[in-house]
Amino acid sequence: MFSLLIFAVGFLQGHAVYLINSTGTMNEQEVCQCSVILPDNTFPADRLEALEISNQKLSISVNQEITKIQNYQVTLNEYILKLKNLTRRVEIVELGGISYTELDFELLKLEIREMESLVIKLKASINGSNTLVESLFVEIHNISVMVNQLESYDKNNVLAVRREIAALRKKLEECEKHQGVPAPPPPVSYGTCDHGGLKNISKPFVVQLNWQGFNYKFGGWGKDSFVGGDQDIHWVAPLTTDGRTMNILRFSPTYDDLLLYKKPTDKILTNGQGGGVILFNNSMYYNCYNTRDICKYKVDTGALERKTLTDATFNNRFSYASSIWQDIDLASDEDGLWVIYSTEQNSGNMVIGKLNSTTLTVERSWSTAQYKPAVTNAFMICGVLYATRTLNTRKEEIFYMYDTNTSKEGQISIVLDKMMENVQSLSYNPNDYKLYMYNDGYLVTYDLAFKPQEKPTENFPLRK
Ligand SMILES: *[C@@H]1O[C@H](CO)[C@@H](O)[C@H](O)[C@H]1NC(C)=O
Ligand SMILES: *[C@@H]1O[C@H](CO)[C@@H](O)[C@H](O)[C@H]1NC(C)=O
Ligand SMILES: *[C@@H]1O[C@H](CO)[C@@H](O)[C@H](O)[C@H]1NC(C)=O
Ligand SMILES: *[C@@H]1O[C@H](CO)[C@@H](O)[C@H](O)[C@H]1NC(C)=O
Ligand SMILES: *[C@@H]1O[C@H](CO)[C@@H](O)[C@H](O)[C@H]1NC(C)=O
Ligand SMILES: *[C@@H]1O[C@H](CO)[C@@H](O)[C@H](O)[C@H]1NC(C)=O
Ligand SMILES: *[C@@H]1O[C@H](CO)[C@@H](O)[C@H](O)[C@H]1NC(C)=O
Ligand SMILES: *[C@@H]1O[C@H](CO)[C@@H](O)[C@H](O)[C@H]1NC(C)=O
């Protein structure tokens, strides 16, 4: 019908060109008669033909457009159905009929995005504007905005909380997975000071009774406390039973030999006094008998050197609380050789001296405010003096510290169990981070635990 109309219009227009003039008269039978004057008397058949062909083409393309529109209609109907479904679901979510799960939103958003892209394609394929597609586009956009708002209007932050819970649950699961497997301890680098000071101390480990027997309740023992010193050799120095004289030293070539009392090497010394003895770089350092001198006995050669420790008190003037004759206590750590003693000038309080192991002179000294006879024993770690006191017959406490690097003292409390009541000597070995205790004749070790490295000042609460 449409094509016919177009044809009719085309015909009239095409032939109007050829109507030049006409006159009409009415005859007796009242019939109008016209004479037409044509300027050209030949009929333009070829033009008519061309007209018919173009008309046919036009008709085909109009038919195509109509089917296209019908297809669009079908697609649009599908989309509208989908959209209605989507709208309903969004409304349900909006009304709180469904719990706010992240999955709902993600699905909705995915579907909306899909539909948006479809509509955009549709718009492009339909040349020009189409009210149906336009409204579809607006609706989809509306839904998209609505979903985003819903998610962000979630005032209780349900989603955020859920996300956090999920993250926490994951962490928890990981924790559970790793449970039972304790975190590996940081690597220990013996002989260094890569730590933030003493943290704790292990249970005592009793190695054995000294080779002289339980009557020999005074003495000292250990390994070479010089960093890099021979760590196979163990030495034991029980004093005479009166707790004063050191005249014999026993060396065991290995730990097993020590345990089995095998292959011992005994050295007879020029007399030493008290249990403040230490082995440092294969030399024994100790207080020479009945003097304020420090003796150095070279184990290999037997050579003996001695040097007066200026101002040091001796012969039980200011010894330790539970061991007599130990006015002068030798110690060693990562920084070298030390001597812990007292002077009259410092009122019996402990003095720390940094000893030159070759010349036996005190290179520098620090006066503490801790009365030496109130202390059970003391040792040095990384230039820090630690002193112990007795809590009861089974417990000892590291209660005092003095940092020679900062000249600051402080109080700490690290309790250590002991097997026997009295502590006669306590020495630190930087090569294995152990304390060596002579405990009423028993040889005992403790493992030390250090804090991770941090600012040194944080470790030393100031004493008032
Ligand atoms: C058409 O005919 C009329 C009447 O006969 C005349 O007046 C008019 O001039 C003619 N027109 C043309 C274009 O020949
Ligand atoms: C709405 O869409 C969902 C998911 O596509 C479908 O499971 C559900 O049957 C649909 N509902 C209607 C009424 O079409
Ligand atoms: C869209 O219509 C314009 C004129 O309205 C025309 O120039 C263009 O080629 C058409 N594009 C398509 C893809 O039909
Ligand atoms: C789109 O949203 C606006 C305001 O949010 C509203 O006025 C309009 O009617 C909505 N249009 C449709 C098609 O839903
Ligand atoms: C210190 O060590 C003892 C003995 O091993 C242990 O019982 C205690 O829990 C430890 N204390 C700290 C704070 O690590
Ligand atoms: C350690 O002993 C060796 C050999 O006796 C000596 O050469 C070295 O200087 C000593 N080192 C110290 C720091 O005393
Ligand atoms: C000990 O003193 C001597 C002489 O003053 C010096 O050469 C040596 O380096 C010092 N030893 C140490 C370990 O400081
Ligand atoms: C003290 O100083 C010495 C030498 O500089 C260093 O090796 C040691 O780690 C320091 N000790 C502390 C506790 O800072």
Considering only CA atoms, which residue is closest to atom 6 of ligand 8?
Answer: 382
> pLDDT digit string (tens) for 418-440?
989 999 999 999 999 999 999 99
CB of 122 closer than 8 Å to CB of 115 = no
Strand ranges for 39-137 from DSSP E? none
Q: Using a 6 Å cutoff on CB, does residue 453 contact ligand 7? A: no
Question: Do 120 and 268 fall into the same domain?
Answer: no
Q: What is the 3-state secondary structure (H, E, C) of 207-224?
A: EEECCCCCCCCCEEEECC
Note whether 132 and 210 are same-domain residues.
Answer: no
What local confidence, expressed as pLDDT, does residue 55 receive? 77
Residue 83, in any domain of the structure = yes
At 315-356, the pLDDT tens digits run 999 999 989 999 999 999 999 999 999 999 999 999 999 999
Instruction: Report the mean per-residue pLDDT for the chain.
Output: 81
Residue 400 has pLDDT above 90, yes or no: yes
What number is the average pLDDT over the span 56-85?
Answer: 79
CATH of the domain at 295: 2.115.10
Q: Are residues 225 and 134 in the same domain?
A: no
Check if the beta carbon of residue 235 is closer than 8 Å to that of residue 248: no
pLDDT tens per residue across span 279-318: 999 999 999 999 999 999 999 999 999 999 999 999 999 9
3-state secondary structure of 151: helix
Q: How far is the CA of 454 from the centre of ligand 5 (A)?
A: 21
Is the same domain home to 261 and 408? yes
Asked if residue 180 is part of any domain, the answer here is no
User: Do 121 and 239 reside in the same domain of the chain?
Assistant: no
Distance 13 CA to ligand 1 centre (A): 22
The reported pLDDT for the residue numbered 458 is: 47
* Ligand 4 geometric centre to CA of 143 (Å): 9
Same domain, 332 and 452: yes
Name the pLDDT band for 126 (thresholds 50, 70, 90).
low
In this structure, is residue 183 part of a structural domain? no
Q: Tally the C-alpha atoms within 13 A of residue 307's C-alpha that lie toward its C-beta.
A: 14
pLDDT per position as a tens digit, 226-266: 999 999 999 999 999 999 999 999 999 999 999 888 899 99
Ligand 4 pocket, residue 62 CB under 6 Å: no
Together in a domain, 122 and 260: no
In a domain, 159, yes or no: no
Task: Tally Cβ neighbours within 10 Å of residue 285.
Answer: 27
Is there a single domain that holds both residue 245 and residue 125?
no
Rounded CA separation 410/203 (Å): 24
Cα(406) to centroid(ligand 8), Å: 9
Kindly list the protein residues whose Cβ atom lies closer than 6 A to any atom of ligand 8: 193, 334-335, 382-384, 403, 405, 456
Residue at 333 is within a domain: yes
Tell me the residue range of the domain where 66 lies.
Answer: 2-40+56-152
Is the CB of residue 281 below 6 angstroms from any atom belonging to ligand 6? yes
Angle between helical axes of 102-125 and 45-94 (0-180°, round to 10) = 170
Which residue's C-alpha comes closest to atom 14 of ligand 1? 21
Q: Is residue 165 assigned to a domain?
A: no
Same domain, 380 and 440: yes
209 and 128 within one domain? no
Is the same domain home to 365 and 421? yes
**Which H or E run includes 76?**
helix 45-94
Whether 7 is covered by a domain: the verdict is yes
pLDDT in tens, 85-98: 887 877 776 666 55
Q: Which of 93, 125, 152 represents a domain boundary (last residue)? A: 152
Overall domain count for the chain: 2
Q: Is the pTM of this model over 0.75?
A: no
Whether 128 and 211 share a structural domain: no
pLDDT at 68: 77
Tell me which residue has tokens 């981070």: 433
Please report which confidence band the pLDDT of residue 129 belongs to, taking 50, 70 and 90 as the band edges: low
Identify each DSSP E strand in 48-93 by its residue range.
none
Task: Report the C-alpha gap between 332 and 325 in whole angstroms.
Answer: 20
| CA-based nearest residue to 309, from 281, 336, 337, 271 | 337
* Cβ atoms 357, 280 nearer than 8 A: yes
- Residue at 95 is within a domain: yes
Q: Is the CB of 427 under 6 A from ligand 6?
A: no
Indicate the top mutation candidate among 352, 405, 457 to test ligand 8's pocket, ranked by most ligand atoms within 8 A of CB: 405
Ligand 4 mean position, distance from CA 94 (Å):
16
Query: Of 121, 152, 183, which residue sits at a domain end?
Result: 152
142 Cβ below 6 A of ligand 4: yes
DSSP characters for 189-250? Answer: -TTS--SSSEEEE---EEEEE-TT-TT---EEEE---STT--SS-EEEEEPPTTS-EEEEEE
Closest-CA residue, ligand 8 atom 11, reads: 382
- Two structure tokens written together for 216: 């020999």
CA distance 350 to 381: 16
Nearest CA to ligand 6 atom 2: 281
